């Protein structure tokens, strides 16, 4: 239901009047009314301590929407100090609404102090202007946890004097509260952070029980006027009235049910990363406690159906805070209503001024218009206007509420329109910061904020475009194009920078990782035809600038060179960024160190700000005030969402969890959690044996690159491979050094074969008892492929090139060319010598072949369809066809599916547990997609296709990885090995996607189910000489024990043509 007038027909619109008195249920009391153009409409409620309300006046311009054009402030209502209800303007009767800070929440319960604290060190002191009192008249109570509520103080009337109860004067009572002992002991009124006024009344015997359950006789009762945030209470009572004093708190909590659960017992050591006091808890106990306290923190900050910042101050909704608390809410209470209400109110902040800025009557260069823009920002802060748009996107991602987006879209669109029109550089897209603008980013003293703001501006535009795409029929194409043009100009400005990360602060690195900016810049730099990518110097240099952005941010965020973040708000984003970078164990340790550090400071809820080196005495200090910090703050509730994502990899990939990912960490012993979604409950349990998952109806889980629809699943623990483990395994195959030129040139001038124009498909091997290295490779002469062999003693200088296997006879499947390379080795170990296995007196090799041959007048290059054959050799140097029939083709054996109906390409052969495995890539046209399939055999002659083919599909850009898009067209030319040290199989393959062809890696425990590392081991264009500007693919990996170095030979296509390159 809309809080704004809907699009009016003729001159009549509709609006909703929302009551601010919530009492459970839906929390909305909507009444649809017709409004004329000059009728004032109440704005939705706003959490504020200011005693005034805000009215808007709505007018219609032509055929446009009704928009607010002016506002006025009305006088505060008269408040009855006893009933706290408002009076009307004449002081009579009860008003129809009350102020937000006077609202009673839905759930009220009585809590008594957990303990009484001795006050022996305060003898004969003057406190708060009173005359000297005895320590027995000063009472200090510890409620044991942070509370939000009203303090009740009760003393028996009979203990005062001998007069009748109705005529006895109450004793003097002074209340002090505090979140810390230091605050509750404070007597300086200049340092009070809350109003501590008390309302007094004398209870009567006949209604005492009904009024207060703990009263059983006439008593003097004092009740705090306002809701107070505290853990400790100090009561100072006039002399000799301390007998039978009763203290209680009527706590106020929202009627929220904790929909999610979280329990953990894991074995990740934290002994070197956190303070000693935390070591008293086991890791699982610590994680559970942090998660539970984070949930309690958030619950206390859901106030009157809004998510506010803190319970001591300010009790206001802020959009930056909401971005974090929204995610925490999704993994704990899953209460979308409080998010809707908060976004609704924040969307109307400064809306009257924003609409004024948008009026066409005001000139473009009107300085008043520009200056007033600062007053129209959400919460009065530039970046909070950006967080407002981002928070709407986050709400859709975690809750999937399209109806609400439709309701609020006009406000989102108007804010985007004004930001683009008034606040952005029309030439370069940068967000312009005016003199009067307030920029927050984080509570930091050092470090510039403008770069982080520009990244946030890009993210807001990106989120705005994503939201607009859901508003079909509600957005004009001109506005959509305006957003696209602005973000394109902004991306171009980033790409033109010689060093995109120059001047980055820690906050800039965090936001750049989380926003997806780096991926977008890489996408933009990689634009073009993948089959013939632009190899110009300008594009190549731009690609080089973009390809290492994530690595540099990872190094910056894991290091200590930059100043730390100042708040749990930004700490949550930092931990999330580190987790998204694949360093989930490091992210977990940071949670334990940071939020566990607050527990060391006696926290029962989490703080507004915190630094791990703070002393206990520093905890309450903020804003140059000794007790200015709120120790229960919503933006500190981040662990609610961080733990499930870090430990189990649980996060939505599409709106409302329609598609979501599960990726448990390998090193977690056991964990269970539930998450409520619009589709139902996601239930995940991980123990030492199995992973159990309940996928609700209508949603899809992604686990190890495979989708699972609704149902109950159980996966053996030993079969799982996490994304972090993939990253760890692939790290030893990174950091390559370049050889400046081709090892084998495109035209190697082989005697008798001088017409070769290109060389390709290197495969290095050795022969039993021979120290030389041999390499087979193919040469293309315009007619077809033939395979040649060369030799080397050092893997660098290659000589004695000669034919290994030439064209087949006319009419045979290999008449048009042969591609040797899938040799049968003595061992599949990745770091073992590539020695050929002699079997029955022969060496064997599977090879790719083509039946069609070109001519000098009509060249052919890889003519469809391809075939596979079996070759043999007695010396390992000269090869011939072993079997006259093709072993695998588009014609059989077995069922040929669509993915391979166009052509069969290069095989790779290994033997494992008595079975031969043939990994091959095949093509589907007309889209030209190549994927990897598997066939098996017991004798090398007769092969059976695997029923789950293709076993390794092209990558999909589902948002699960920050480095993706490199293999969306091809996953080809697999080279599979066994890593004995880590006990897994690894597959090196080439992916084709953005930017050309790249060398990539995937891992498996059973040769069938594979998990890729979305980040290439080596990208096209990585060689600074330009040797591989277009393609880097078709590898041969060799470990040289002589110098303990990996040698990777590959087909390098660039400025020097297509030849064999080398990286080590």
CB neighbours of residue 738 within 10 Å: 17
Q: How far apart are CA 243 and CA 446, in angstroms?
A: 54
> What is the rounded average pLDDT of the residues 865-870?
96
State mean pLDDT over 438-453: 83
Instruction: Give the predicted TM-score (pTM) of the model.
Output: 0.85
Among the ranges given (181-185, 613-617, 672-676, 980-984), the one the predictor scored with the smallest mean pLDDT: 613-617
Report how far residue 434's alpha carbon sits from residue 564's, in angstroms, rounded to the nearest whole number: 27
- According to the model, what pLDDT value does residue 308 have? 93
Distance, CA of 543 to CA of 523 (rounded, Å): 9
Categorize the per-residue pLDDT at 715 as very low, low, confident or very high, splitting at 50, 70 and 90. very high
On whether the CB atoms of residues 936 and 917 are closer than 8 A, the answer is yes
The answer to whether the CB of 213 falls within 8 A of the CB of 333 is no
Q: Is 652 helix (H, G, I), strand (E, B) or coil?
A: strand
Taking alpha carbons only, the member of 817, 783, 792, 822 closest to residue 803 is: 817
Residue 820 tokens, joined: 């040797």
Dihedral pair phi/psi, residue 922, rounded to 5°: -140, 165
Q: How far is 865 from 880, CA to CA, in rounded Å?
A: 21
Residues of the chain with pLDDT > 70, as a percent, come to 80
**Alpha helices, DSSP H, located in 601-668:** 639-648
Selection from 159, 197, 192, 167 nearest residue 82 by Cα: 197
Of 283, 329, 334, nearest to 307 (Cα)? 329
At 164 the pLDDT is 53
What count of residues does the chain have?
1064
895-952 residue pLDDT tens: 999 999 999 999 999 999 999 999 999 999 999 999 999 999 999 999 999 999 999 9
* Residue 789, burial from CB neighbour count under 10 angstroms (0-12, 13-18, 19+): buried
Instruction: Average the pLDDT over 221-229 and give the result.
Output: 93
> Where does 772-816 have alpha helices with state H?
none
pLDDT band at 29 (very low <50, low <70, confident <90, very high): very low
Mean pLDDT score of the chain: 83
b (16+ CB within 10 A) / e for 942-962 = ebebbeebbbbbbbeeebbbb
pLDDT in tens, 333-351: 999 999 999 999 898 877 6
CA–CA distance, 399 with 386 (Å, rounded to integer): 20
Beta bridge pairs of residue 873: 843
pLDDT attached to residue 93? 47
pLDDT at position 356: 59
Q: How far apart are CA 862 and CA 322, in angstroms?
A: 57
Whether 433 contacts 450, CB under 8 Å: yes
Report how far residue 839's alpha carbon sits from residue 824's, in angstroms, rounded to the nearest whole number. Answer: 9
Residue among 878, 932, 879 nearest 905 (CA)? 932
Return the residue matching tokens 């800070």: 101
Identify which has the larger pLDDT, 129 or 736.
736
pLDDT, tens digit (0-9, with 9 covering 90-100), for 823-840 = 999 999 999 999 999 999
Task: Find all residues with CB under 8 Å of 225, minimum gap 6, and list them.
Answer: 81, 84, 195, 197, 198, 199
Nearest to 499 by CA among 448, 562, 554, 542: 542
Do the Cβ atoms of 638 and 568 come closer than 8 Å? yes
User: What's the token pair of residue 893?
Assistant: 């054996």
Q: Which of 301, 306, 313 is nearest to 342 (CA)?
A: 306
User: Residue 355 — pLDDT band, cuts 50, 70, 90?
Assistant: low
The pLDDT assigned to 791 comes to 98
Check residue 262 and give its pLDDT: 78
**Beta-strand runs (E) in 900-995:** 903-912, 915-924, 929-937, 944-945, 970-979, 984-993
> Is the pLDDT confidence value at 781 over 50?
yes
pLDDT of residue 216: 55
**Lowest mean per-residue pLDDT among 115-124, 436-445, 448-457:** 115-124
Q: How far is CA 865 from CA 148, 820, 905, in A?
A: 74, 17, 9
For helices 639-648 and 283-300, give the axis angle rounded to 10 degrees: 140
Residue-wise pLDDT tens digits, 1016-1063: 999 998 998 889 988 999 999 999 999 999 999 999 999 899 999 999
| pLDDT at residue number 205 | 54
Tokens of 489: 């100009």
Poorest-pLDDT segment among 706-715, 739-748, 848-857:
848-857
Q: Are 922 and 905 in contact (CB under 8 A)?
A: yes
Residues in contact with 381: Cβ distance below 8 Å, sequence separation at least 6, in sequence order: 320, 438, 439, 440
Q: Under a CB-based contact definition with an 8 Å cutoff, are residues 454 and 391 in contact?
A: no
Q: What are the φ/ψ torsions at residue 570 (nearest 5 degrees)?
A: -80, -25
Q: Which 3 state secondary structure label does DSSP give 281? A: coil
Most confident region among 207-221, 375-389, 459-473 by mean pLDDT: 459-473
Cβ neighbours for 639, distance < 8 A, ≥ 6 positions apart: 290, 291, 294, 328, 591, 595
- Lowest-pLDDT range, 257-261, 621-625, 642-646? 257-261
Instruction: Reply yes or no on whether the pLDDT at 632 is more than 50.
Output: yes
Give yes or no for a contact between 919 and 934, defined as CB atoms under 8 angstroms apart.
yes
**DSSP states along 492-554:** HHHHH-SSTTTT--HHHHHHHHHHTHHHHHHHHHT-S-TTS----HHHHHHHHHHHTHHHHHH
Residue 549 has φ and ψ, to the nearest 5°, of -65, -45
Instruction: Tell how far CA 1033 is from the center of its chain.
Output: 31
Contact between residue 378 and residue 333 where contact means Cβ atoms under 8 Å apart: no
**pLDDT band, residue 802 (cuts 50/70/90):** very high
Given a cut of 80, whether residue 238 has pLDDT beyond it is no
**Nearest one of 527, 545, 548, 531 to 1030, comparing CA atoms:** 531
DSSP state of 8: P
- What is the Cα–Cα distance from 256 to 108, expressed in whole angstroms? 12
* pLDDT tens by residue, 683-694: 999 999 999 999
Instruction: For residues 534 and 1026, give the distance between their C-alpha atoms in angstroms, rounded to a whole number.
Output: 12
What is the residue whose two structure tokens read 């296997």? Answer: 805
Cβ atoms of 632 and 598 within 8 Å: the answer is no
Higher pLDDT, 497 or 278: 497
d(CA 526, CA 151): 63
Q: Which residue has the higher pLDDT, 270 or 806?
A: 806
In the predicted model, is pLDDT for residue 773 greater than 50?
A: yes
The number of beta carbons lying within 10 Å of the beta carbon of residue 513 is 27
Mean per-residue pLDDT, 385-394:
97
Pairing status of strand 659-661 against strand 700-703: parallel
The distance between the two most distant Cα atoms of the chain, rounded to a whole number of Å, is 127
237 or 372, greater pLDDT: 237
Distance, in Å, from the CA atom of 200 to the CA atom of 223, rounded to the nearest integer, reads 7
967-1003 pLDDT, tens per residue?
999 999 999 999 999 999 999 999 999 888 999 999 9
């Amino acid at each position: 239901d809309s809080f704004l007038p809907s699009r009016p027909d003729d001159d009549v619109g509709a609006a909703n009047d929302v009551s601010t008195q919530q009492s459970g249920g839906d929390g909305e009391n909507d009444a649809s009314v017709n409004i004329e153009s000059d009728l004032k409409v109440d704005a939705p409620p706003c959490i504020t301590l200011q005693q005034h309300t805000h009215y808007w006046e709505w007018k219609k311009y032509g055929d446009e929407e009704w928009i607010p054009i002016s506002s006025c402030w009305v006088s505060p209502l008269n408040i009855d100090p006893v009933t706290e209800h408002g009076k009307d303007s004449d002081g009579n009767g009860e008003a129809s609404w009350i102020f937000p800070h006077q609202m009673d929440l839905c759930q009220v319960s009585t809590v008594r102090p957990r303990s009484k604290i001795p006050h022996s060190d305060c003898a004969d002191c003057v406190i708060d202007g009173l005359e000297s009192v005895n320590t027995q008249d000063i009472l200090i109570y510890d409620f044991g946890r942070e509370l939000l509520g009203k303090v009740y103080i009760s003393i028996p009337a009979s203990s005062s004097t001998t007069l009748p109860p109705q005529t006895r004067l109450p004793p003097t009572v002074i209340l002090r509260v505090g979140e810390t002992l230091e605050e509750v002991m404070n007597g300086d009124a200049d340092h009070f952070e809350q109003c501590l006024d008390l309302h007094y009344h004398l209870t009567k015997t006949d209604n005492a029980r009904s009024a207060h359950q703990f009263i059983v006789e006439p008593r003097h009762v004092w009740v705090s006027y306002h809701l107070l945030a505290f853990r400790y209470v100090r009561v100072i009572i006039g002399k000799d009235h301390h007998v039978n004093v009763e203290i209680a708190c009527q706590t106020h909590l929202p009627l929220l049910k904790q929909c999610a659960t979280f329990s953990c017992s894991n074995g990740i050591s934290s002994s070197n990363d956190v303070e000693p006091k935390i070591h008293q808890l086991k890791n699982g106990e610590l994680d559970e406690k942090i998660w539970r306290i984070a949930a309690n923190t958030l619950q206390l900050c859901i106030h009157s159906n809004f998510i506010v910042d803190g319970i001591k101050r300010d009790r206001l909704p802020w959009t930056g805070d909401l971005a974090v608390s929204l995610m925490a809410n999704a993994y704990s209470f899953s209460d979308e209503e409080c998010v809707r209400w908060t976004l609704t109110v924040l969307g109307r902040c400064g809306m009257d001024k924003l609409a004024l800025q948008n009026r066409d009557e005001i000139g473009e260069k009107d300085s008043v218009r520009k200056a007033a823009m600062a007053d129209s920002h959400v919460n009065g802060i530039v970046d909070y206007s950006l967080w407002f748009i981002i928070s709407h996107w986050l709400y859709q991602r975690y809750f999937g509420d399209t109806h609400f987006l439709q309701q609020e879209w006009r406000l989102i669109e108007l804010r985007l329109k004004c930001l683009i029109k008034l606040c952005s550089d029309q030439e370069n897209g940068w967000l312009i910061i005016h003199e009067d603008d307030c920029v927050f980013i984080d509570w930091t003293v050092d470090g510039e904020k403008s770069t982080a703001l520009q990244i946030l501006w890009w993210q807001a535009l990106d989120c705005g475009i994503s939201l607009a795409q859901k508003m079909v029929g509600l957005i004009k194409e001109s506005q959509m194009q305006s957003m696209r043009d602005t973000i394109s100009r902004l991306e171009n400005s980033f790409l033109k920078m010689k060093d995109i990360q120059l001047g980055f602060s820690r906050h800039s690195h965090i936001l750049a990782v989380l926003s997806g900016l780096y991926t977008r810049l890489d996408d933009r730099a990689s634009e073009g035809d993948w089959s013939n990518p632009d190899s110009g110097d300008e594009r190549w240099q731009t690609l080089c600038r973009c390809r290492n952005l994530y690595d540099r941010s990872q190094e910056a965020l894991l290091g200590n060179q930059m100043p730390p973040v100042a708040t749990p708000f930004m700490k949550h984003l930092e931990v999330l960024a580190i987790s998204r970078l694949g360093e989930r164990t490091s992210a977990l340790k940071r949670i334990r160190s940071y939020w566990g550090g607050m527990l060391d400071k006696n926290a029962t809820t989490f703080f507004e700000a915190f630094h791990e080196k703070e002393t206990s005495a520093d905890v309450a200090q903020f804003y140059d005030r000794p007790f200015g910090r709120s120790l229960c703050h919503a933006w500190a509730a981040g662990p609610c969402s961080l733990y499930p994502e870090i430990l189990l990899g649980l996060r939505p990939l599409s709106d409302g969890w329609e598609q979501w990912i599960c990726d448990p960490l390998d090193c977690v012993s056991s964990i269970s959690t539930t998450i409520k979604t619009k589709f139902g409950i996601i239930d995940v349990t991980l123990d030492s044996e199995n992973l159990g998952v309940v996928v609700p109806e209508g949603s899809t889980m992604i686990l190890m690159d495979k989708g699972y629809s609704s149902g109950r699943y159980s996966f053996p623990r030993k079969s799982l491979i996490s994304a972090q483990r993939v990253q760890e395994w692939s790290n030893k195959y990174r950091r390559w050094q370049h050889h400046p030129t081709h090892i084998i040139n495109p035209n190697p001038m082989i005697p008798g074969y001088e017409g070769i124009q290109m060389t390709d498909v290197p495969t290095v091997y050795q022969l039993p008892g021979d120290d030389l290295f041999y390499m087979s490779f193919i040469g293309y002469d315009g007619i077809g492929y033939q395979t040649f062999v060369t030799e080397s003693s050092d893997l660098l200088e290659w000589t004695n090139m000669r034919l290994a296997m030439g064209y087949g006879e006319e009419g045979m499947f290999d008449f048009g060319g042969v591609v040797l390379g899938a040799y049968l080795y003595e061992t599949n170990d990745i770091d073992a010598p590539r020695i050929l296995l002699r079997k029955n007196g022969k060496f064997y090799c599977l090879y790719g072949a083509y039946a069609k041959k070109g001519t000098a007048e009509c060249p052919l290059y890889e003519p469809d369809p391809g075939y596979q054959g079996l070759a043999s050799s007695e010396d390992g140097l000269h090869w011939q066809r072993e079997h006259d029939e093709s072993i695998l083709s588009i014609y059989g054996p077995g069922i040929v599916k669509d993915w391979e109906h166009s052509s069969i390409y290069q095989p790779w052969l290994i033997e494992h547990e008595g079975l031969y495995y043939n990994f091959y890539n095949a093509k589907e046209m007309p889209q030209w997609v190549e994927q990897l399939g598997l066939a098996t055999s017991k004798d090398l002659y007769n092969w059976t296709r695997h029923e789950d083919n293709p076993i390794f599909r092209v990558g999909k850009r589902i948002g699960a990885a920050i480095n993706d898009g490199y293999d969306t067209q091809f996953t080809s030319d697999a080279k599979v090995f066994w890593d004995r040290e880590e006990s897994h199989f690894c597959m090196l393959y080439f992916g084709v996607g953005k930017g050309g062809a790249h060398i990539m890696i995937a891992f498996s425990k059973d040769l069938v189910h594979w998990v890729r590392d979305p980040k290439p081991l080596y990208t096209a264009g990585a060689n600074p000489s330009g040797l591989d500007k277009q393609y880097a693919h078709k590898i041969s990996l060799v470990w040289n024990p002589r110098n303990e170095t990996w040698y990777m030979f590959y087909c390098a296509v660039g400025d020097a043509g297509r030849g064999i390159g080398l990286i080590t």
